[in-house]
Structure 1
Amino acid sequence: MNKTFFLLAMTVVITTFSFSQTEKKKFEITGKLSGFPDSTVIYLYENNTHQADLIDSTFLISGQFHFTGSFQENAIQVLLQTKGSDNYKFFWLENSTIIFTAEKGKFKEAVITGSKTQEEAEKFDIITGGDKLKMISYIRNNPGSTVSASVLSIYSSTWGKDTSTMLYNALTETIKKTSFGQNVLNFISLNKNPKVGDKYVDFGEPDIDDKIVHLSDFKNKVVLLDFWGSWCGPCRANNPELVKVYNEFKSKGFEIFGVAADLDKESWIAAIKKDGLTWQNVTDLQGWNNKAAIIYGIYKYPTNYLIDRNGIIVATDLQGNELINKLRKMLN
């Protein structure tokens, strides 16, 4: 065979193989919707742990819409919705051909075909029914499942380090390498989950001026370590009370150290200013994956820890009069 012809032939083979591999990593969503006018905007978000990132948007024409794209994971969870919150559906997207069929006002009943992971997720919901022990059992029996890793990623802080470590260790190596598996490993590596009676666990994160502030900077102070978020309704509703408490006790050696589970710096700073939070606030802008929140095992917002002058955690989740009465005893 002519050497030039051989090299050309190999180039064609390699190019064809590469093209074939690329083709395998593409998804295509065809949507069929009823009850909506033409030009309704359809949004597709990637639903990461506790947050959503826009992938694409398109218009509905004659009751149909179309999305194409690709990603590296075996499957990702996505959110498909129209503007507002009336019509939305979470589902598992794979690099395959997906058909999404729904009626206006009934997105939660949408029929989705073409995604094996979505089929598994639906079976998971039926089998477990939200029961903790059944979910744990499912993960143990399905260590090679993306759904298993996703559920463990969501519930790791709720179930605790011991259970999460046991379930993570049982996962296959491939699933451990997914973003969900990496989230669980991050939790296991960082989590300390201090309790009442324990010494606080130190950490440092950037303030609004990007200066790193540590919990240990508040020596010889009584500190309320407050985990909150600009997006958190109960947190924002409680902030006026915290402002009153801070103003009453700050001259007596009391400090509040706020840690926000935020993703957007502008929204975080706007909330601080609007709510009048004059105490030190920090965030690493990682949302629910905030490093300090993982260290302390935070799974609900707001959550707080009251720390005495010796650095010992003396109470958790004190609000209103309970917090005021406790501070009066500690500071008077």
Structure 2
Amino acid sequence: MKKQLFGGLCGAAMWLISCGPSVPGNEYRIEGTLTGVPDSTVISLLRDNGDLLEMMQCDTVAGGHFTFSDTLSATRKFYLLCIAPGFPSSYLTVWVAPGEKVEVTGNDKLINLWEVRSNLPEQVEQNRFADCTRNLLRQQVLCDLQRDSLVQMLKDAQQHGAMDVPAFQQLKSRIDSLMRLSFQLEYQKAQRTVECLQTAPFSQVWMDELEMQAMMLGNAPDYDFLHDFLTLEKPLKELYATLPDSVRQTTDGQRIYNLLYPVQTVGVGDEMVDGTLYDTEGQERHLAEFKGRYILLDFWSQGCGPCVQSIPELEKISDDYADCLTVVSISSDPKDLWLEFLKKKGLKGNQWNELRNDASGLAAAYNVHGIPHYVLIAPDGKVQDVWNGYGKGSLERTIKKHLP
């Protein structure tokens, strides 16, 4: 999002936090005060870079406190995350700016429900949207933690063969029930967020929230548990229509438009869609270069664990079927991080990237909502199969079904 989108807003609504030691004009400072969180717990600070979250710093809770500080040249959005038992796999959004101190307080392990206070108008707006869904979020986080615990119990039982069929089915039913409840709560949160968007002043945070709801709407047609989100299509498009042309023409505005008005997608049996991609040398490349062969498209990112786990199997498939199949890996990562990762891992073959982040292009045409996402194209240029997700051996099994 662009800084100029929200300048000057929310001045009258600012929180005035207590004056402590002054923060140097070129630095930010985040001070955390926690209860109910054990000392030695590691808190991580991350920032977004395209579709990736990059680790910046870690601090260990000591005496109920943690601190982050560093130099900074402009206002930015960071995230707090903790990977430890009892913590949700979600983050807390924290805005920072040069010369500003941010106070974070929490009384349990529900990190995405911790309170954030600062003088920054962006944080005031972030808190506005957080407050409108806070009670629903608490219910959802507790529901998800319970579900995750049951899933782990199920995995452990399967691994050790210590559960009979009736017990397995009962546990699976409880997990499914909690999953349905979580998505019901997600939909209720979305409804409240839309209501908040309809009354809140325009800001960068406003744009972020609109984009998030547009993403959920874009996923809705493909997943039964998201169908309720289709009822939000009309109000979301009406909210987008209130944006001035100058904002619609920004990268953020175009991305939201493409989410609300997606390109036509292709599926099994359809003619393949081609587009402009770039190889590691910056040269334009096209899928048509391999027409007449089987083409396996691999949509991936280095921030996706299963995507990275699938790399050795993709390389084996590329070697085993070299006479008739070409693997094309299409990364969604920012250029510099993509090239750095390829070099670090020594990845070869057709490593391509669309170098765009506007929710359009081939990823949209092939209906990529989650990664890894695979598309098998037959020699005649027709889409032969589409699937997503990865487990050891799954790629080889799928390819063997289609290739001699």
Q: 1:148 to 1:233 in 2, by over 3 A?
A: closer
Q: Is residue 308 from structure 1 mapped to residue 369 from structure 2 by the alignment?
A: no
Alignment length (residue pairs): 298
**SS of corresponding position for 2:296:** strand
When Rg is computed on C-alpha atoms for both structures, the one with the higher figure is 1
**SS of corresponding position for 1:171:** helix
**SS of corresponding position for 1:323:** helix
Post-superposition CA distance 1:258-297 (Å, at most 9, x none): 10122213333236625xx43x220134579584323323
* TM value normalised by structure 2: 0.57
Q: Is residue 51 from structure 1 mapped to residue 52 from structure 2 by the alignment?
A: yes
237, 254, 270: which is aligned to 2:325? Answer: 254
Q: Find the counterpart in structure 2 of residue 184 from structure 1.
A: 256
Residues of 1 paired with 2:314 and 2:56: CA distance? 38
147, 152, 176: which is aligned to 2:213? Answer: 152
Q: Find the counterpart in structure 1 of residue 143 from structure 2.
A: none
- Please, which runs of 5 or more residues in structure 1 have no aligned partner? 1-19
Q: 1:239 to 1:183 in 2, by over 3 A?
A: same
* TM value normalised by structure 1: 0.67
Q: Find the counterpart in structure 1 of residue 104 from structure 2.
A: 100
Q: How does 1:178-327 map to 2 (within 5 A)?
A: 181-188=253-260, 191-251=263-323, 253-263=324-334, 264-270=337-343, 273-274=346-347, 277-278=348-349, 280-286=350-356, 291-317=361-387, 319-327=395-403
Residues of 2 paired with 1:247 and 1:46: CA distance? 37
Q: Find the counterpart in structure 1 of residue 239 from structure 2.
A: 171
Post-superposition CA distance 1:138-196 (Å, at most 9, x none): 45544435264142244254235995864542215249758765422133566332111
Bigger shift: 172-181 or 304-313? 172-181
Q: 1:98 to 1:171 in 2, by over 3 A?
A: farther
**SS of corresponding position for 2:269:** coil
Partner amino acid, structure 1, of 2:212: V
Bigger shift: 101-110 or 190-199? 101-110
Residues of 1 paired with 2:233 and 2:345: CA distance? 36
Q: Find the counterpart in structure 2 of residue 11 from structure 1.
A: none
Q: 1:174 to 1:255 in 2, by over 3 A?
A: same
Residues of 2 paired with 1:312 and 1:109: CA distance? 48
Partner amino acid, structure 1, of 2:403: L
Bigger shift: 57-66 or 154-163? 57-66
Partner amino acid, structure 2, of 1:221: R
Kept in 1, the 8 Å contact 2:92–2:113? The answer is no
Residues of 2 paired with 1:241 and 1:66: CA distance? 40
Residues of 1 paired with 2:74 and 2:215: CA distance? 21
Q: Find the counterpart in structure 2 of residue 79 from structure 1.
A: 79
Partner amino acid, structure 2, of 1:120: F
Partner amino acid, structure 1, of 2:329: G
**SS of corresponding position for 1:155:** helix
Residues of 2 paired with 1:238 and 1:184: CA distance? 31
Q: RMSD of the TM alignment (CA)? A: 4.7
Deviation at 1:198, TM superposition (A): 1.3
Bigger shift: 236-245 or 105-114? 105-114
Deviation at 1:325, TM superposition (A): 2.2
Deviation at 1:299, TM superposition (A): 1.7
Post-superposition CA distance 1:236-258 (Å, at most 9, x none): 2222222232222221x221111
Residues of 1 paired with 2:302 and 2:279: CA distance? 15
Bigger shift: 107-116 or 59-68? 59-68
Q: Pick the structure with more strand per residue.
A: 1
Residues of 1 paired with 2:261 and 2:105: CA distance? 42
**SS of corresponding position for 2:321:** helix
